[in-house]
Structure 1
Amino acid sequence: MFRLGASQVARSVGAQTRNYATLREIEMRLKSIKNIEKITKTMKIVASTRLNKAQRAMTASRVFNKTDAEFYENTEPAAVEDAKTLLIVVSSDKGLCGSIHTQIAKSARKRFQDLNGAADIVTVGDKVKAQLMRTHSDNLKLSFSGVGKEAPNFYEVSLIADEITKLGEYSNVEVLYNKFVSAVSFEPSKFSVFDAAALQKAPGLSKYEIDNEETTSEFAEFSLANSILSAMAEGYASEISARRNAMDNASKNAGDMINSYTILYNRSRQAVITNELVDIITGASSLE
């Protein structure tokens, strides 16, 4: 009888130890989720603050890009067939913004496939570079990092454009980017940029007072830089918006997990207290 009582006490102590350990684990888990919720809420506030600045930069860049689009529409330059295309894929270095980098990388792969592999690739941003390196490392000619931390400016973009022009002459240049549609959506898009030779052959160039190759060459360089600036500004606004939405969803998910773990913690705590009361009452009854 004594041995039976001892084994019951041992099992009771072991059960209490497991309950206490489980309770402690739940408490630590709950604390971690609350800390994550604080971080995601803070990041959402920061993204919301930056979004207005990003949208202003995007709106300003659209004015210059609209002027380029009108010039191309009036002159009607044509892409050179059977010529190698340069794809400039614009992204950034920062993550935690949903699928925005994956979407532009997928769009670049599809465009590369449409061109039957007759294209070279330049990446702006580490995120899209890492994704395209896995599938098109042989076609990746140049990459730029350290971008996307702030709204782009023309000085930064002009340096990027200068390095791209050192790769050589490309008759067809396409800038792939994430176009800002609204605060909750974006879509992969592209700009077509033409070189000086294509502009010289444009049938509608006579509408403008341009009669020398130097002017068209300078305009082609400016148009490349301007297109990259618009793409980076659009991508920056899309990224900030996507990050705000991602952090908002993460905060909501953390809140749901906190509620679930709080209920679980309270139930586990009540179970521990109940077991302790049962042991006390059982011990008191055995002494009577």
Structure 2
Amino acid sequence: MLSITRTAIRPLGGVSVSSNAVQARNMATLKEIQGRLKSVSNISKITKSMKMIASTKVTKAQRAMENARTYGEATNELFKAAETKPAENSTTIYIAASGDRGLCGGIHSSVAKGTRRAIGNNNKAAIVVLGDKAKAQLSRSHRSQISLSFNQIGKDIPTFAEASAIVDVIRQQGIEFDSAEIVYNEFKSVISYEAVSTLVYNEATFKASPNFAAFEIEDDVLENLQEFTFANNIYHALVEGHAAEMAAKRAAMENATKNAEDMIGKLTLQYNRGRQAVITNELIDIITGASAL
């Protein structure tokens, strides 16, 4: 509650006159509140618009995610049917699938924390980061292990072509691995997500699977199959993470809008009380002067 005090000067003749300094201070305070009200109102309009845009994108992202899950599940079923497992002392690279944009809560922190958990004490494993947000966080603890990083991926909805391009760059850079663990945010609902990981194996590891012979895959096809399954899982991780990001952004903008509206209510009440106090002081001065006359 805005507290305003009134002081009076009583000159000869018994007439009470309010202090000009107090009146000026009161008006300055009201101007400040008005300025804050205008700023918060503008922020509320922006966050409301961003919420509407995110709501539209969530629907599109969910449709794309349902299609991408088919790719990821097909790859996982392939390795599951072949009973593929990484050998002891095998080389693993870690791929953190995140994004470049903020204003979506702690969704990027979730991927960074999940990647750190997956790495554990493996201080020699190579890390590939998709997205600037996760890169900034992983650089604090695993800067020397980051071999590659990508940004500007999935400005709208990630595509399979982008995932294929990532796989091509990883192969061109000569990063050797027996298995790749991809960490991403799994979309649970419009209000929840969870950092999970999935494994992809190279040709040699897949060929050494107990049930590999049942597939009757020729050697010249095996390399292409490995590239395809690798791109499949990266595509699935990117699209799943994009859907979770859009849902988190919608929730963040909704919360920001509610907080702005609450603040507008408090500032409006504070302004009205201050204005009422100023008017009351002016009326007291008028009545006091009239009574003295």
TM range (shorter): over 0.9
- Change over 3 Å in CA distance of 1:161–1:5 after alignment to 2: farther
Match in the other structure for 1:231 = 237
- 1:97 maps to which of 101, 104, 114: 104
Partner deviation per Cα, 1:33-92 (whole Å, 9 max, x = no partner)? 111111111111101101111011111111111111111111111113223321110011
Alignment identity in percent? 45
For the 8 Å contact 1:84–1:118, the answer to whether it is kept is no
8 Å CA contact retained: 2:10, 2:17: no
Q: Deviations over 1:167-200 (max 9, x none)?
A: 3221121110000011110000111000001011
Q: Distance in 2 between matches of 1:207 and 1:55?
A: 35
- SS of 1:203's equivalent? coil
Could you list the runs of 5+ residues in structure 1 that have no partner in the other structure? none
Give the letter for the 2:134 counterpart: V
State whether structure 2 residue 66 is matched by structure 1 residue 59. yes
More helix per residue: 1
Cα deviation code 1:209-246 (max 9, x no counterpart): 2132x222111111111111000000000000000011
Indicate whether 1:253 and 2:259 are aligned: yes
In structure 2, the partner of 1:18 is: 25
Q: Does structure 1 conserve the Cα–Cα contact (< 8 Å) formed by 2:18 and 2:285?
A: no
Which of 80, 89, 93 is the equivalent residue of 1:73? Answer: 80
Where 2:72 maps in the other structure, the secondary structure is helix
Query: What SS class does the counterpart of residue 119 from structure 1 fall into?
Result: coil
- Name 1:111's counterpart in structure 2: 118
Q: How many residues of Structure 1 are paired with residues of Structure 2 in the alignment?
A: 282
What secondary structure, in the 3-state scheme, does the structure 2 residue paired with 1:92 have? coil
Q: Match of 1:241?
A: 247
The question of 1:27 aligning with 2:34 is answered: yes
Q: 2:265 and 2:154 mapped to 1: Cα distance?
A: 36
Which whole-Å CA distance do the structure 2 matches of 1:276 and 1:145 have between them?
62
Map of 1:39 onto structure 2: 46
- Helix, strand or coil for the counterpart of 2:47? helix
Rounded to whole Å, the distance in 2 between the matches of 1:195 and 1:97 is 34
CA distance in 1 between counterparts of 2:201 and 2:277 reads 73
Q: Distance in 2 between matches of 1:176 and 1:238?
A: 13
Structure 2: which amino acid aligns with 1:90? Answer: A
Indicate the residue corresponding to 1:165 in structure 2. Answer: 171
| Unaligned runs of at least 5 residues, structure 2 | 1-8
Pick aligned residue for 1:202 from 191, 204, 209: 209
Given candidates 134, 141, 153, the residue that maps to 2:140 is: 134
What is the match of residue 266 of structure 1?
Answer: 272
Q: Which moved more, 1:176-185 or 1:161-170?
A: 161-170
